[in-house]
């Protein structure tokens, strides 16, 4: 009699271990958009360079950072860090000090002399950039990396735009600004200062430029009518700040009133204190909640002795006295006069009611649309005239693009990068392909038990007495030890950082390591779809999806 027929299967065979019929759902690895990246107007890959910083790979982190932003030492001082407002860690304890780490990396680059090569070989194309503020410098940097010949024309005698003439040196030291501008020029970018542009088409034709990016900035103060006698000393906030930067500060007197409620108003009042004003008062027609100035600016101004008069407007000025009219908010939150007045002593009245760009260089350019003092641009930052692009303060929100209310250095850098990529595509006669946005990594998808309590590292600040009497930098930087600590507070929201949790907790050994930097894969011949890996992934990089039948 023959022996019974038997089949012996290799334990590794899919026939022996197939579990697909057991599962209703299967786990998949996903990549989600970190909220810090999503909130950055410059489009930085923040999570990437934080990851590099966690292993003290500071130069690599810096090089990843400057792929999107060539001014990290500046931005680490001037940016109001919306990334930190969005940071998921803020719901656990405190947001990661992203801005402080960015500044640390930027300062390391300056200290160690890290530089950037021009990039690709010459394209044979010439691009004109008008304005050397953050948008213009960002565009010039990116265009040079893409292989184009770039010339920046700047009307002022020194580069930097509103970074130089609108941000006081106690917030942005000029040696830091110079170092980052010099790095961009060192890539082969031509910088022509003291050269205002009055006719963009004429200059493009004469210079043989194939395209132009306009970023002239908003350096003209908006003035409101204030009835004032001949003896009243009235000046604009931008004029005050730029004269200080030029080394010729005006005589303001002991009592200075600043009319306005934005960051420039705060800077003007804080500058007045440093120039010797015993009283610096900001007059604003709405309440603190409706003030456009960023919180940190208001807080630091108050610390330095700047006073605020809310719900007030200036009705007249003469002989060292101002007449203020009290306001009240209507049901829609708009201020309206009450008829009540009071007087306030003032040796100088500084107007800080916003700025606007000088757009005369576009006079006569066909198809360019200017509305409410800004140029209309497409999603690709191009004006209505082919080959002329615009960004920064002079441009409105890109049509079809992301609407950003703030006129900040960071927004301008983002405009410059977007415009450079669009100019590159336009010169090549191709269209830009924009990658699909990943879903946002929300706090609820994280398993925060994995992250130990780690208090945020606070940057040192100059003592108050020295702040009120000098233009020394107010906010200090991190050192290497606490920069490393702060970087390691990042939770890598939505993206695997190879912590081995899924590998360690899987009861079926269905998670396979692919090697350092390659992450993992699921072996669905073993996976039973229990979902433990999802529950234990600290950063929310695994999701369950319906099983395919």
44-87: pLDDT as tens digits: 999 999 999 998 899 999 999 999 999 999 999 999 999 999 99
Instruction: Give the helix, strand, coil percentages of the chain, each rounded to 5.
Output: 35, 20, 50
- Predicted local distance difference test score (pLDDT) of residue 16: 45
CB 120 within 8 A of CB 146: yes
Q: For residue 256, which phi and psi values (nearest 5 degrees)?
A: -120, 130
CATH architecture, domain 35-114+446-487 = Orthogonal Bundle (1.10)
- Residue 221, helix vs strand vs coil: strand
Question: Where do the domains of the chain lie?
Answer: 14-31+496-546, 35-114+446-487, 126-219+357-428, 224-352
Rounded distance between C-alpha atoms, residue 234 and residue 249, angstroms:
14
Q: For residue 329, which phi and psi values (nearest 5 degrees)?
A: -90, 135
- Predicted local distance difference test score (pLDDT) of residue 12: 45
For residue 534, give both structure tokens: 């999802």
- Please give the class, per CATH, of domain 224-352: alpha beta
Residue with tokens 């009307």: 155
- Please give the class, per CATH, of domain 14-31+496-546: alpha beta
Beta bridge partners of 351: 236, 259
Beta bridge partners of 198: none
pLDDT by position in tens, the chain (length 549): 343 333 333 444 444 456 666 788 999 999 999 999 999 999 999 999 999 999 889 999 999 999 999 999 999 999 999 999 999 999 999 999 999 999 999 999 999 999 998 877 788 999 999 999 999 999 999 999 999 999 999 999 999 999 999 999 999 999 999 999 999 999 999 999 999 999 999 999 999 999 999 999 887 777 777 777 666 789 999 999 999 999 999 999 999 999 999 999 999 999 999 999 999 999 999 999 989 999 999 999 999 999 999 999 999 888 889 999 999 998 888 899 999 999 999 999 999 988 888 899 999 999 999 998 899 999 999 999 999 999 999 998 887 555 555 679 999 999 999 999 999 999 999 988 888 889 999 999 999 888 888 899 999 999 998 998 899 999 999 999 999 999 999 999 999 999 999 999 999 999 999 999 899 999 999 999 999 999 999 999 999 999 876
CB 120 within 8 A of CB 144: no
Rounded distance between C-alpha atoms, residue 523 and residue 270, angstroms:
62
Rounded distance between C-alpha atoms, residue 72 and residue 108, angstroms:
10
Q: For residue 128, which phi and psi values (nearest 5 degrees)?
A: -95, 130
What angle (nearest 5°) sits at the alpha carbon of residue 211, between those of residues 207 and 215?
95
184-212: pLDDT as tens digits: 999 999 999 999 999 999 999 999 999 99
Q: If we measure between CA atoms, which residue out of 107, 35, 96, 38 comes closest to residue 71?
A: 107
Terminal-to-terminal C-alpha distance of the chain: 44
- Predicted local distance difference test score (pLDDT) of residue 231: 64
- Predicted local distance difference test score (pLDDT) of residue 18: 67
Rounded distance between C-alpha atoms, residue 275 and residue 178, angstroms:
24
- Predicted local distance difference test score (pLDDT) of residue 266: 96
Tell me if the pTM is above 0.85.
yes
- Please give the class, per CATH, of domain 126-219+357-428: alpha beta
For residue 168, give both structure tokens: 């006081």
Q: Report residue 173 CA to chain centroid gap.
A: 18
Q: Could you check whether 126-219+357-428 and 224-352 share the same CATH topology? A: yes
- Predicted local distance difference test score (pLDDT) of residue 434: 82
């Amino acid at each position: 009699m023959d022996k019974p027929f038997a089949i012996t299967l290799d334990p590794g065979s899919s026939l022996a271990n197939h579990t697909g019929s057991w599962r209703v759902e299967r786990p998949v690895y996903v990549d989600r958009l970190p909220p810090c990246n999503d909130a950055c107007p410059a489009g930085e890959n923040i999570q990437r360079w934080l990851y590099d910083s966690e292993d003290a790979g500071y130069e690599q982190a810096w090089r990843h950072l400057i792929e999107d932003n060539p001014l990290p030492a500046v931005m680490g001082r001037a940016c109001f860090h919306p990334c930190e407002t969005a940071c998921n860690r803020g719901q656990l304890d405190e947001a990661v000090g992203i801005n402080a780490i960015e500044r640390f990396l930027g300062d390391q680059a300056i200290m160690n002399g890290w530089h950037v090569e021009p990039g690709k070989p010459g394209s044979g194309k010439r691009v004109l950039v008008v304005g050397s503020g953050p948008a213009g410098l960002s565009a010039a940097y990116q265009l040079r990396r893409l292989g184009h010949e770039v010339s920046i024309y700047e009307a002022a005698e020194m580069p930097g735009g509103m970074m130089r003439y609108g941000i006081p040196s106690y917030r942005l030291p000029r040696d830091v600004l110079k170092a980052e501008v010099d790095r961009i020029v060192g890539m082969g970018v031509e910088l022509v200062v003291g050269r205002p542009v009055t006719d963009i088409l004429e200059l493009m034709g004469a210079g043989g430029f194939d395209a132009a990016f306009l970023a002239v900035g908003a350096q003209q103060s908006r003035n409101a009518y204030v009835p004032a006698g001949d003896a009243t000393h009235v000046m604009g906030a931008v004029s005050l700040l730029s004269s200080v930067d030029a080394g010729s500060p005006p005589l303001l007197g002991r009592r200075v009133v600043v009319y306005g409620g934005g960051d420039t108003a705060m800077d003007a009042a804080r500058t007045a204190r440093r120039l010797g004003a015993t009283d610096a008062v900001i007059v604003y027609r709405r309440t603190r909640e409706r003030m456009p100035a960023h919180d940190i600016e208001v807080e630091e101004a108050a610390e330095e002795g700047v006073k605020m008069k809310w719900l007030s407007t200036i009705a007249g000025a003469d002989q060292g006295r101002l007449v203020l009219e009290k306001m009240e908010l209507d049901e829609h939150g708009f201020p309206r006069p009450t008829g009540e007045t009071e007087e306030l002593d003032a040796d100088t009245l500084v107007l800080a009611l916003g700025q606007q760009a000088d757009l005369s260089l576009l006079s006569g350019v066909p198809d360019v649309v200017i509305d409410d003092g800004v140029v209309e641009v497409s999603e690709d930052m191009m004006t209505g005239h082919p080959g002329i692009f615009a960004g920064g303060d002079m441009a409105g929100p890109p049509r079809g693009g992301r609407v950003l209310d703030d006129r900040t250095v960071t927004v301008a850098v983002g405009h410059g990068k977007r415009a450079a990529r669009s100019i590159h595509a336009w010169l090549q006669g191709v269209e830009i392909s924009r990658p699909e946005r990943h879903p946002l990594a929300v706090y609820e998808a994280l398993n925060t038990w994995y992250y130990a309590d780690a208090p945020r590292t606070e940057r040192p600040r100059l003592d108050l007495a020295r702040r009120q009497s000098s233009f020394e930098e107010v906010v200090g930087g991190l050192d290497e030890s606490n920069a490393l600590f702060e970087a390691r507070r990042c939770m890598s929201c939505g993206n695997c950082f190879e912590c081995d949790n899924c590998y360690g907790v899987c009861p079926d050994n269905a998670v396979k390591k692919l090697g350092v930097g390659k992450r993992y894969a699921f072996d669905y011949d073993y996976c039973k779809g229990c979902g433990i890996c999802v529950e234990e992934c600290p950063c929310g990089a695994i999701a369950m999806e319906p099983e395919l039948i």
